[in-house]
Chains A and B, each alone.
Chain A
Amino acid sequence: MPVHGRRVGLSAALAVLVATSSLARVSGAAEPPVESEATGDAAKGRLRYTLDGIEVRGNQRTVDRVVLRYIPFEPGDVLDVADPEIELTRFRLLGTGFFSSVRISLRKGRRRGAAVLVIDVEERNTIIVENVAMGIAADEDAEGNSEPITPYLGVQVAETNLAGTGITLGAGIGVAADQFALQMRFADPAFVGSEWAFTSSMHYIAARDFFGIKDVSFESPLLELREVTDYAVVSYSRFGGTIGAGHDLSTSTRVLFDYGLERVEALVPTVASHVRGHTREPIDFDILPGASVLSTINAALIYDTRDTPFLPTRGALGSIRGTLGLEPLGSSYGYQKLEASLAYWWRLPWRHVVSLEGQVGAIAGDAPFFEMFYVGDYTDLLPDRILGLNPDRRQPPNILGTDIVEVRYGNYAAKLEAEYRIPLYVGRGSVYGIDFFTGAGLYGVATSRDFEDPPTGYEGAARAPIDLTYNLGLRIETYVGGFSVAFSNLFGLLPAREGGRK
């Protein structure tokens, strides 16, 4: 029974001893002891019960074991009603995204002093839109003016509680001009009930990429590729997948591994040259023509102490990611890739938020171009890659007038960016917050050749392939997810003020 120190002295302590020894005799601790423990805290209303069982109610689709996975108590445990783990359990269950409400309560057990932990859940729709990206990809004319030509769209959806098992099955599709990508993903957050997550994915990508700085000449085996006269076009497909595992080292640190295997089929121009700087040179496509295999081992360590992932106001997010292209495991590409990033957020006394983020990456060896660092991933003024597609043909804007315009893919990349956010709205309904943000940064992307043999026609600091990037817009945090409405995509369509782009 829940007892209080003043009322029960030695007799209660003896009762506990009896209960403990009877507990030890019972196989699997299924039978609760007769009495519960009394402590000095009892006088302050701290009650303890022996758990008779755990009852899950209201779950129509989700199987009981998925709910029980998140409950750190077992029948036979002595439950202190003041244990903060009970409240954390509620949020842990809400954090799965499977339930719209979770209520935890106790009811009397079979004997005095025993209780049953009751978990009442209300299930919610678990088919979610994970990511939507859309925008306009652009070309540019000979004077460097932007010419919007094609829209692009990427959508990822997932069922996060497949057949009530807690397993995620996701699918994604990306569409751009003459390109498309399909992706499927499977994740079991507690593989065979363990502390390890199991992940796997498959993808098929049929894409094109555009090479050449200016005055491009090429001969393609495909007639349709010759229609694009300003670029040497590589048409390629990728089909493969990954299999991996993840483990939470702590609430803020997570480690992930995976092995990736894919077949790459590339149609590469037979001959191609362009003018790099002032010198005509052959184009290096960084991909093997015909069929090749990419076999990689990937690992990531992620440290995340942000208070919230979409509109953080404090904390840090750091990651180290490594990729090994393994020729002994059949890869046609042997390379090593290392990336590191660290971002910090601070809330200022006047409640605005400032953040600082740094990223560095390096590749040694012969990585295919789609594994290299792409300028669009570093400047906000060009679209990022979506599901492996690169919808934009443009060279990066050249605000500083450097040889950054001579780079599309690089072996080295770095970025330092600061962002300032002003909360405009804080709500408790379906929209949790709207922040105005503005950011600016400095980034650089370079190949090894940019250091060893820089493009001709650039002198002094202009030989450093770096440039400025900036962005502004709104970030909206809602019940269904976070949205960014950024104007950088529109800014990117404006001609660059300085430096020749083409």
Chain B
Amino acid sequence: MAMALGLLAPTVASAQSAEALSKKKLSRRKAKLATHRGWVTMTVSYRDVVNPAIRRKLLSGLPTVIASRTYVFPDKGKQPVALGVKTCRIVFDLWDEVFRIDLQQGGRGRQTVAVNVEGVLRRCAEARRQPIVAKRSLKPQQRYFMGVAVEVNPLSPQMMDRIKRWVSRPKGAGTVGPGDSLFGSFVGLFITHVPDADRAISFRTQPFVPAVLPVIPTKKGDRRASR
């Protein structure tokens, strides 16, 4: 199990840790869960993470990252037993007028192109038979569920620290006298709260028992779920 977690170590910092996720009362979302080539896979849409503001941002010409983390929890437990990560870095190419997508999943990277936002959503705002955990890592008869956290432009702790310093101590703030310390530093307090991400949603799937998951047959040349 530790190996499964290690292999799927996240490449982006997440504001929504497994601990935070386990404490939340998550809305339930129907996912298609199955096993394929020995892995438990998940198919679910989270297109709602792309609201009009994020849609505008996708067209800004600057990178947008959509990162999803899928934790596998025992149905009556708070400690995740596995984690699957998928990140999409999307940049709209101003001159070629296409979205260039750098997709990272299961430790592998792939570059692709989408010609419109719909293409971006299909690749980055949906899990399509995404392998989450090796089936043999789970107890066959135990009930599990998946907790999913999706973030748009999550900030790394290092970036967060840097930003907080900027917003906390604007240039030119402060005076020599300690008694006047509030005179000038208060401005920074306007936005002390720096959001961890531009947008975040989380949900959980229905529970599942590994032993009774449907098996998707392997077709010749099908590498979608290969690791």
Q: How close is A40's CB to chain B, nearest CB, in angstroms?
A: 12
Return chain B residues, CB-CB under 8 Å to A106.
60-62, 94
Q: Is the CB of B166 within 8 A of A45?
A: no
Which listed residue (B94, B111, B165, B176) contacts A251, Cβ 8 A? Answer: B165
Return chain B residues, CB-CB under 8 Å to A130.
182-184, 186
Q: Is the CB of B111 within 8 A of A45?
A: yes
Interface residues on A, range: 35 or more
Return chain A residues, CB-CB under 8 Å to B85.
none
Per-position contact with B for A301-334: 1 when CB-CB < 8 Å, else 0? Answer: 0101111111000000001010000000000000
Specify the chain B residue showing the minimal Cβ separation from A87. B159
Which listed residue (B96, B161, B169) contacts A309, Cβ 8 A? Answer: B169
Q: Is the CB of A86 within 8 A of B176?
A: no
Return chain B residues, CB-CB under 8 Å to A172.
183
Asked whether any CB of chain B lies closer than 8 Å to the CB of A26, the reply is no
Q: Is the CB of B187 within 8 A of A96?
A: yes
Complex CA gap A55/B165 in Å reads: 26
Complex CA gap A106/B97 in Å reads: 13
Instruction: Knowing A91-B167, A246-B172, say if A105 contacts B62 (CB, 8 Å).
Output: yes
Return chain B residues, CB-CB under 8 Å to A480.
189-190
Specify the chain A residue showing the minimal Cβ separation from B177. A298
Per-position contact with A for B62-94: 1 when CB-CB < 8 Å, else 0? Answer: 110000000000000000000000000111011
Interface residues of A (CB under 8 A from B): 1-2, 43-47, 49, 81-82, 84, 86-88, 91-92, 94-97, 103-108, 112-113, 115, 124, 128, 130-131, 156, 158, 160, 168, 170, 172, 185, 187-190, 197, 199, 201, 242, 244, 246, 248, 251-252, 254, 256-258, 298-300, 302, 304-310, 319, 321, 339, 341, 377, 384-385, 388, 428, 432, 477, 479-482
Which listed residue (B164, B172, B175) contacts A308, Cβ 8 A? Answer: B164
Q: How close is A226's CB to chain B, nearest CB, in angstroms?
A: 31
Complex CA gap A78/B150 in Å reads: 32
Q: Which of A130, A190, A432 has the most CB of B within 10 A?
A: A130
Say which one of B39-47, B121-129, B191-199 lies at the interface with A: B191-199
Q: Is the CB of B94 within 8 A of A428?
A: no
A–B Cβ pairs within 8 angstroms, 28 of them: A1-B96, A2-B95, A45-B100, A45-B101, A82-B63, A87-B159, A88-B159, A94-B191, A95-B187, A95-B191, A105-B57, A108-B94, A128-B187, A130-B184, A131-B186, A160-B187, A185-B183, A187-B172, A189-B170, A189-B172, A201-B175, A251-B166, A258-B175, A298-B177, A309-B185, A432-B193, A480-B189, A480-B190
Which listed residue (A2, A199, A300, A304) contacts B96, Cβ 8 A? Answer: A2
Complex CA gap A258/B177 in Å reads: 10
Complex CA gap A251/B159 in Å reads: 13
Asked whether any CB of chain A lies closer than 8 Å to the CB of B188, the reply is yes
Instruction: Knowing A45-B102, A170-B183, say if A307 contacts B176 (CB, 8 Å).
Output: no
Return chain A residues, CB-CB under 8 Å to B109.
44
Q: How close is B113's CB to chain A, nearest CB, in angstroms?
A: 9
Complex CA gap A251/B191 in Å reads: 17
Complex CA gap A115/B60 in Å reads: 11
Q: Is the CB of B62 within 8 A of A81?
A: yes
Return chain A residues, CB-CB under 8 Å to B94.
2, 49, 106-108, 115
Complex CA gap A284/B214 in Å reads: 91
Complex CA gap A187/B176 in Å reads: 13
Q: How close is A363's CB to chain B, nearest CB, in angstroms?
A: 14
Q: How close is B166's CB to chain A, nearest CB, in angstroms?
A: 5
Instruction: Knowing A105-B60, A197-B171, A308-B164, say if A428 contacts B176 (CB, 8 Å).
Output: no
Specify the chain B residue showing the minimal Cβ separation from A118. B60
Complex CA gap A128/B182 in Å reads: 12
Complex CA gap A366/B167 in Å reads: 40
Return chain A residues, CB-CB under 8 Å to B139.
none
Return chain B residues, CB-CB under 8 Å to A84.
159
Which listed residue (A1, A128, A308, A428) contacts B95, Cβ 8 A? Answer: A1
Asked whether any CB of chain A lies closer than 8 Å to the CB of B178, the reply is yes
Q: Is the CB of B166 within 8 A of A95?
A: yes
Return chain B residues, CB-CB under 8 Å to A108.
94-95
Q: Is the CB of B60 within 8 A of A254?
A: no
Asked whether any CB of chain A lies closer than 8 Å to the CB of B38, the reply is no
Instruction: Knowing A130-B183, A131-B182, say if A310 contacts B189 (CB, 8 Å).
Output: yes
Q: How close is B53's CB to chain A, nearest CB, in angstroms?
A: 9
Asked whether any CB of chain A lies closer than 8 Å to the CB of B168, the reply is yes
Instruction: Knowing A2-B95, A104-B62, A156-B183, say if A310 contacts B195 (CB, 8 Å).
Output: no
Complex CA gap A196/B175 in Å reads: 13
Complex CA gap A190/B118 in Å reads: 45
Complex CA gap A130/B180 in Å reads: 10
Specify the chain B residue showing the minimal Cβ separation from A314. B161
Q: How close is A251's CB to chain B, nearest CB, in angstroms?
A: 5
Q: Is the CB of A81 within 8 A of B91?
A: yes
Return chain A residues, CB-CB under 8 Å to B101.
45
Q: Is the CB of B176 within 8 A of A258?
A: yes
Q: Is the CB of B192 within 8 A of A187?
A: no
Return chain A residues, CB-CB under 8 Å to B194.
91
Q: Is the CB of B95 within 8 A of A112?
A: yes
Instruction: Knowing A45-B100, A304-B169, say if A309 contacts B188 (CB, 8 Å).
Output: yes
Asked whether any CB of chain A lies closer than 8 Å to the CB of B55, the reply is no
Return chain A residues, CB-CB under 8 Å to B189.
309-310, 477, 480-482
Return chain B residues, CB-CB under 8 Å to A321.
176, 178
Q: How close is B171's CB to chain A, nearest CB, in angstroms?
A: 5
Asked whether any CB of chain A lies closer than 8 Å to the CB of B24, the reply is no
Q: Which of B176-227 touch A at CB < 8 Å?
A: 176-179, 182-195
Q: How close is A475's CB to chain B, nearest CB, in angstroms?
A: 12
Q: Is the CB of B100 within 8 A of A96?
A: no
Q: Is the CB of A47 within 8 A of B166?
A: no
Q: Is the CB of B102 within 8 A of A44?
A: yes
Return chain A residues, CB-CB under 8 Å to B184.
130, 158, 168, 170, 185, 187
Complex CA gap A168/B188 in Å reads: 13
Return chain B residues, CB-CB under 8 Å to A308.
164, 168, 192
Q: Which 8 A-B pairs have the closest CB atoms?
A: A189-B172, A106-B61, A197-B172, A105-B60, A45-B100, A95-B167, A97-B187, A131-B182
